Structure 1
Amino acid sequence: MSTDILERYLSWRRGRDGDPFRVRMPALGPVLFTGTPEGAREFFRAPVDLLEPPLPNPIEPMVGAASLILARDGRHRRERALLAPALHRNRISAYGNAIREAARAELSGERTGDPWRPGTRIDARAAARALTLRVILAAVFGIDDAARRAEYTTVTQEFLESFGSTLFMVPALRRKLFGLSGWERFSTARDRLDELIDAEVARRRADGGGGADLLALMLDTRYEDGSAITDTDLREQLRTLLVAGHETTATALVWALYRLHREPEALARLRAEVAAAGSDPGPAELMALPYLDAVCQETLRLHPPVPIVLRRLTGDLTLRGVPLSAGDTMGISMHLLHTDPAVWPQPRRFRPERFLERRYSPFEFAPFGGGHRRCVGAALADYELRIVLATVLTDVRLRLSPRFAHGPAPMSVPHTITVGPRSAITFDVAGF
């Protein structure tokens, strides 16, 4: 189902029934939804021991049951304590130059053989996925060798592309059929990726560890009891980082470029701010630019990476005055939260200035979720999005191709772990 259709339906239901309201979801049963700051406050502040991810979860085949995204109870706390230091803002600043180099390598045509020269038409989604995957490979595995990067890129892309929207939405199709089913193609692609990850972990252990990438930090980190993460759990956490660590940022980058090139005044203001930072501003200088930050925040407001957050209860709770029991499911619609007219004047309009005029609470603006399960990689995603967007806008001039320059925005549909435009948004490279 198109995410836009679901958003319109949820908006209609809230208009008819008020907030909160119940919607029956496939495989989950009735879900009590909220989309107000008051509801978000209660949702994100609910007792940790009463909440768990609902199952079945459509992304479990991709990330694995041990993934931090799906971990429950004490296991979630243990795994988050292990991963959080490696993804802390102070750590990820070391990847700033690698992020900028990845963007410039894409612009130079290193991947495709076709530099972004005037007259070239660019598939923004393919380009964004390629450069963000390059960044996450460097950040997670420290890969800068061209041959190894190419191997990882091929295998990872096959893995991601094999898990299409049909397998995502229809679990009944996840079965074998004499080697001919989509599920078997996906399983084969996942096995190939796991073999690469396992070989990398084995090599690192044999070499005695070391390094500044996320894998090295995870191998060195210990749980509170002094034990290390198992190879199986490590594999699934690394696979999660590969999937979530590049797809969400790539999608946000595409939407940011699309929105800016539909709003000439916002585009001109951002270019002027970046130009005023110097001829070649470094990552630290870019991260200090207020309008760049506002543009990225406004993009995530209109296009949150995960449009719905769901939690299943293990005990009794009340949400917005409605009593819930163990086994019930509650959810937040990020679309409703981020377009609440009481908080966001002209909520459908792309207007980055709103983030310069006031600060929003984590219960008004929550593109990466909130509470104890807020996305552990949010800081890396924010950091990468700002640097790549500024680099692209500095180094090239783009025009939306005629198909996308006018008319409504493309529909959003599920893309592996996030949602994104159904159509590949294209740009034409223009002269300076």
Structure 2
Amino acid sequence: MSTTAQPVGPEALHQPRLVPLHALAAGADLERYFRWRSDRHGDPFLVRFPSFGSVVFTGTPAGAREMFRAPVELLAPPLPNPIEPMVGPASLILARGERHRQERAVLAPAFHRNRISAYGTVIRDTARDELAGERTGRAWRAGTRIDARDAARAMTLRVILAAVFGIVEPELLAEYTSATTEFLTSFGTPLFAIPALRRNMFGLSGWERFTAARDRLDGLIDTEIVRRRAAEGAGADQDLLGMLLQARYEDGSAMTDTDLREHLRTLLVAGHETTATVLVWALYRLHRAPETLARLRAELAAAGPDLDPIEVAKLPYLDAVCQETLRLHPPVPIVLRRLTGDFVFRGTSMVAGDTMGLSVQLLHSDPEVWSEPQRFHPERFLEHRYGPFEFAPFGGGHRRCVGASLADFELRIVLATVLGAVRLRLSPRFARGRVPWTAPHNIATGPHAAITFEALEP
């Protein structure tokens, strides 16, 4: 729909009937559902979510430009939000207006590229520990079956725990790992999608299991905050918690313990599952594209095994592989903005309370921008530089993911470490045939099934 035409209201867009069936189709395979809706009804199109409301979606660069350049004062995160029980109302993800600006100003310096470069050795050593079997007792030796999702989650969780809290002690690391894993796995798709299930039932409900897991994790975080405050800022130069304890708002005040806890919990959730998911997809795609894998291995071999992690992250073909993986498999595939005032979005007149959305998967497969959009072809990122309204794996505008630099840095180093140390072969069920569909996993989406590999002789 042209934005120069006379604006129409959302009611003029196609109104899907049998909303529960549409919701099931979207939940089963979001990318396929959105592609079907776009092909059938054009851009924009209306999607209705039970217990949430209607969203006007786009999947074009023009639509992304309109959303990301909309006046800041007209935009807010949608509420109720399905991830609020996980991250908490004080989370940067849910903050709005002036509070969002202030919180982002405090958090952003901790994720500056110069700051996160200090974590390069931690990231590389964590990946090496996983490959050596220090967590499981099972090294990635020839003949070992590797669950890529489980291994990727373990690596990225240890990285984020080290980066956020500076935790390296085995006993404390094991306790945090157990608590965080229980917290993440207890918030399954039913609780995510159906708010009515979030209630107590004499200790027997999934909601009660989740809140108990959240309380356990919060107890660990609160204990660490108290310990670090008593130490008068010890660790300020080593981890994100230390930096945030020292941070001050414009009026000179510090974060409250409650707000700090929810920011830290958000970092654990968002900084763990998303990067792990992209790492799994990168390994999957590379091992279905032998020539691409060979070219990347050659680049890594030429760089040498002892190259500084900062320099590893700058390798051009490694960067292209990671970018192409993010294009095909953005871990958060939709971006939503709720309006606080009148706005015309893709020719649709919207009012306060309406929600507009961007399908990142549609954006990343627009045939006017991407040749052979379904093909895994990292070379495209060596041949062309894409703009922020064409390629947006971490969202865009004033709410772009504050941790994007850390996620990018971590992905490159872990992928390079794995490929430089082991040889893998996809299990037969994944080596051929259709690419697995995506399903929600907490805050991100990823392969619906655990993708497995067999470790080979070097």
Same fold (TM over 0.5): yes
CA shift for structure 1 position 17: 2.4
Query: What's the counterpart of residue 270 of structure 1?
Result: 296
Determine the C-alpha separation between the residues in 1 that align with 2:46 and 2:443.
24
Residue aligned with 1:266, SS: helix
Query: What's the counterpart of residue 417 of structure 2?
Result: 391
Structure 1 counterpart of 2:308, one-letter code: G
Query: What's the counterpart of residue 209 of structure 2?
Result: 185
> Does the CA contact (< 8 Å) of 2:66 and 2:345 recur in 1?
yes
Residue aligned with 2:29, SS: helix
Q: 2:94 aligns with which of 39, 45, 70?
A: 70
CA shift for structure 1 position 25: 2.1
Cα deviation code 1:266-324 (max 9, x no counterpart): 00000000111123212122122110000000000011011111111000111122211
4+ aligned runs moved over 3 Å, structure 1 = 1-4
TM-score by length of 1: 0.99
> Does the CA contact (< 8 Å) of 1:3 and 1:411 recur in 2?
no
Query: What's the counterpart of residue 258 of structure 2?
Result: 232
Determine the C-alpha separation between the residues in 1 that align with 2:337 and 2:369.
24
Query: What's the counterpart of residue 258 of structure 1?
Result: 284
Q: 2:432 aligns with which of 393, 406, 424?
A: 406
> Which stretches in structure 1 are left out of the alignment for 5+ residues?
none
> Does the CA contact (< 8 Å) of 1:339 and 1:347 recur in 2?
yes
- 1:339 corresponds to 2:376: no
Query: What's the counterpart of residue 21 of structure 2?
Result: none
Determine the C-alpha separation between the residues in 1 that align with 2:51 and 2:68.
23
- 1:219 corresponds to 2:236: no
Residue aligned with 1:271, SS: helix
Q: 1:357 aligns with which of 374, 383, 386?
A: 383
Q: 1:170 aligns with which of 162, 174, 194?
A: 194
Determine the C-alpha separation between the residues in 2 that align with 1:52 and 1:188.
30
Determine the C-alpha separation between the residues in 2 that align with 1:16 and 1:405.
32
CA shift for structure 1 position 26: 2.1
> Does the CA contact (< 8 Å) of 1:307 and 1:334 recur in 2?
yes
Determine the C-alpha separation between the residues in 1 that align with 2:314 and 2:279.
19
Structure 1 counterpart of 2:129, one-letter code: A
Structure 1 counterpart of 2:383, one-letter code: E
Structure 2 counterpart of 1:151, one-letter code: E
> Which stretches in structure 2 are left out of the alignment for 5+ residues?
1-23
Determine the C-alpha separation between the residues in 1 that align with 2:200 and 2:305.
56
Cα deviation code 1:359-401 (max 9, x no counterpart): 0000000000000000000000000000000000000000001
Determine the C-alpha separation between the residues in 1 that align with 2:83 and 2:437.
21
CA shift for structure 1 position 3: 5.1
CA shift for structure 1 position 8: 2.0
- 1:209 corresponds to 2:229: no
Q: 2:178 aligns with which of 147, 154, 157?
A: 154
Residue aligned with 2:440, SS: strand
Equivalence map 1:48-197=2 (5 Å): 48-197=72-221
> Does the CA contact (< 8 Å) of 1:3 and 1:419 recur in 2?
no
Q: 2:396 aligns with which of 332, 353, 370?
A: 370
Determine the C-alpha separation between the residues in 2 that align with 1:229 and 1:358.
43
CA shift for structure 1 position 199: 0.2
Determine the C-alpha separation between the residues in 1 that align with 2:447 and 2:296.
23
Cα deviation code 1:102-132 (max 9, x no counterpart): 0000000000001000000000000000011
- 1:25 corresponds to 2:41: no
- 1:8 corresponds to 2:32: yes
Determine the C-alpha separation between the residues in 2 that align with 1:199 and 1:6.
40
Determine the C-alpha separation between the residues in 2 that align with 1:195 and 1:284.
35
The two structures, once aligned, show a CA RMSD in angstroms of 1.0
Determine the C-alpha separation between the residues in 2 that align with 1:388 and 1:425.
17
CA shift for structure 1 position 4: 6.1
How many residues in Structure 1 have an aligned counterpart in Structure 2? 432
CA shift for structure 1 position 30: 2.0
> Does the CA contact (< 8 Å) of 2:51 and 2:194 recur in 1?
no
- 1:246 corresponds to 2:237: no
CA shift for structure 1 position 193: 0.2
Equivalence map 1:284-299=2 (5 Å): 284-299=310-325
